[in-house]
Every structure is written in C-alpha cells, then in structure tokens.
Structure 1
C-alpha cells in the first residue's frame, strides 16, 4: 500500500482511501480532575480497530513534568503517533506535540494555548462555569456537590459521583505556566467542541479550533465527551490517523 500511495502521488493523482495506511499509534492524555481510566471506552474502540493505544498517567504537578511524562510514552513507540488531549491535556499535547514521533494532534474539548498564553489567561478571557476550590497547599478540586452539573452532566449519576470522589486534583500552577512552542502551529490538528461544556467555555474551544485551523466537529455534550461521546471521539482520532497515514 505504501508503494502504491507513493506512486500515485508522484503521478499527481488523488489517493483512494484504501491506499492509505493509517498511523497506528495513538497516545491519549487526560485532563484535570480525572485520570487515564476515563479513556477506557475510546481505548476499547481503537484497540478493536487495530490501533496501538497508550495512555499517559501524568501527575499534574507541573506542566513540565506532564510534558515529560507524555514524551516518555512517545519515545517508547515504534513509528509515528497521533497525540490526543482532553481538557488540560490539550495544553500538554500543545507542548509535547513537538516531539518527532507526533504526526498530528487531536483536541477533545481541550485547551490549545499559543506561545505566551496559559490555560488560566485564556479562561479569564472567556470564563467557564465550573465551580472549584483550592486547597491551602495549592491543589484544585471541582466542588463535589456540583461535579455532575459542571463536568459530567451527560453521564449517569452514579458514574459522575464516583468521578467526583476519585478526582485527581492539579497543582494550580499548571494553569498559569506559559506555553513556549505550540505544536498546533506546525502540525495538523483536529478539534471536537463540546457545545454544552461548563468547564471550558465552548466559545473558547471554537477560538482554539479556528486559530489552529483544525478540522472541527461540534457535538452536544458536557466536558466529559471523551466518555459520553466515545464513538465520535474515536472516529475523529481514526480520521486523523488515516489522513496522516503514509
């Protein structure tokens, strides 16, 4: 298939979909107040479809450490990868996406800051409605009583309650650390906007997508669309993997 695709391109002809081999490595990066287990449904779909899927369990103690955790996973792979980020995970892939293994970026209701921006700077310009509280030592939680409404309105109540009680809080400094080299400026991007998001203002998501010239889809759903809309999320990732295939 690679030989066929190369030959057809050399002749200046369009390449039929069957002649493109998709990128086979997918790396999923979670956001704040959650961990990699939230990707399970997406993981199952992609794995069944033949992709090699890895998830990053980053500590959310600093942006630098989260980028390092992501880079560590990328360096263990053979061949190119699609890097996927949800929420704050978008800031992580924006910086980590400069790694040579990364062929493209997929943002799922995620931050995509530019150089000199942080997630906090952008959220202050277009605020969301999520209610949080910060501990004396500087870690942030979503208020448990409002977790389902603010983060996971389209998930079953029992699931949202479990997530509320098993939150992974970020250190507040991850939200004020500036991006220095946004990968979306030089790598192809896809973006899924959550139209009912309360954690990140949907208008901010639209701004991110437009600025990155990302292939964009809007879906109805809460901030937790990576769980509630797993099939659509997996389909977008597979579209990116196929279009960037060699």
Structure 2
C-alpha cells in the first residue's frame, strides 16, 4: 500500500538509551513498504545536547513535513527537537515526555520503581544495563537470540542526560500520539500514562516489553501511519 496525497510521507525515528537505530528495522521495513521515506537517527548518547543535535541534523535533511518518533529516552529528545519546523506530529513509543523546564529524572518521581531494569554506572558516568537482567528488564518478549543481540550491542548513555532540563515541549505545539507497552519493565505504566495524558496524546496500548519498537513493530508502524494521515489536517 502506498501513501495517499493527504499523508505526510517522511518519518524520522529516534532510539533510546542502551540501544542504537538498528532496533527500528522492523518498523522501517513496514513503513517503507507502505511508501514512506524513513530516516533513522543514531544518537551518540553522550549528552542531551548531542542527541538533540543529531536529531535536528536529520530533520534538516527532510524534504517536507515529517512525523518524529521517539522510543524511551528518545522521547525526551523529540520533546526538545520536535519544535523543528519540519515536524508535523510526534509519536512517543513507551517514551519519556517531560515538560519545558523539567528534567528526565523528574518524570520518575512519585511512580513505582522498576527493579528488573538495572543500570550499572561506570566511573566515567556512563551506564549499561546489567547483562544478567537485560532480557527480563528490557526485552522479555523478544526471542533469546534477539535479546542477546540487543544486550551485546547496547550503547552506554551518559547518565548526566537525566539531569538536563528540557527547554521546549514540542507536544504543547504539535499533535501527538503514544504507544504504551503494558508490560514495560523500564517505566511504571502509570508514569507512561501520566505523560501521554498530559501531552494530550492519542494512546494505543499493546502487550509488550520496553522493546515494543522491536517486538510489536506493526503496531508501532500503524500508529505512525495514523499520525501521518491525521497530523497534516490538524
């Protein structure tokens, strides 16, 4: 199926912490088969500013309006970068969505802890997910082989990013959608629902782990298509 004349045709995908853009392959394949032009940001995860700059760099290359999609930490990135004039709509995929003036870390306050999501922080301030807990905490619904690949290819994140305050809240200006993984063990489900409701997002819930972008690629792609079909008319 190809896109129609009323759809936005460009999609930009932004990964989260402990991962790279390769996990989007299923979403990429689905969307490109439907006629979309898809670009994948490779966040360095070295600072909030660096990740926003990496996303902005890709947005600058779009030849028209785009749907900007973020998973997990990528939600904070698209919240800041999403004020870019090429962004027509936002999709949060089990993602953080702070408000202007807030830090990512503040989003966790008042919500339940996630004991299966264990971060090991090195002396240099960068964090990896505990390899022994990786599958249960990040991707319990992935195959053992896929979970092992994600575990062994994980990208450490500078933990200081969680203390960086967001300047812009793009969801206050742009139409917003959210996919919430109901079996996410990285975030309290109530926290995800709170952020999505505050953003005025149209929410799709799906039984999935934090790796929902990988394990439920079709649901994520369908939500992005819905955004592309409707953001242009907002």
TM-score range, shorter chain: over 0.9
The TM-score, its normalising length taken from structure 2, stands at 0.95
1:38 shift after superposition: 0.2
What does residue 100 of structure 1 align with? Answer: 85
Q: Deviations over 1:197-244 (max 9, x none)?
A: 111111110001100110001111100000000000000000000112
Q: Quote the Cα distance in structure 1 between the aligned partners of 2:178 and 2:42.
A: 22
Q: Distance in 2 between matches of 1:205 and 1:66?
A: 21
1:55 aligns with 2:40: yes
Q: 1:169 aligns with which of 156, 159, 181?
A: 156
Residues 137 and 239 (structure 1), Cα distance of their counterparts in 2 relative to 1, 3 Å cut:
same
Give distance in 1, aligned partners of 2:106 and 2:164. 10
Structure whose alpha-carbon radius of gyration is higher: 1
- In structure 1, the residue matched to 2:221 is 234
Residue 114 (structure 2) aligns with? 128
The match for 1:76 is: 61
Q: Which of 113, 117, 128 is residue 141 of structure 1 equivalent to?
A: 128
- How many residue pairs align between the two structures? 229
Q: Please name the residue that 1:4 is paired with.
A: none
Displacement of 1:166: 1.2
Per-residue CA deviations over 1:170-217 (Å, capped at 9, x if unaligned) read 000111101111000111000011111111111110001100110001
Residue 86 of structure 1 pairs with residue 71 of structure 2 = yes
**Structure-2 separation of matches of 1:188 and 1:113:** 16
Q: RMSD of aligned C-alpha atoms? A: 1.3
Instruction: Tell me the CA shift for residue 20 of structure 1.
Output: 5.5
Structure 1 residue ranges (4+ consecutive) displaced by more than 3 angstroms after TM superposition: none
Alpha-carbon distance, 1:19 to partner: 7.7
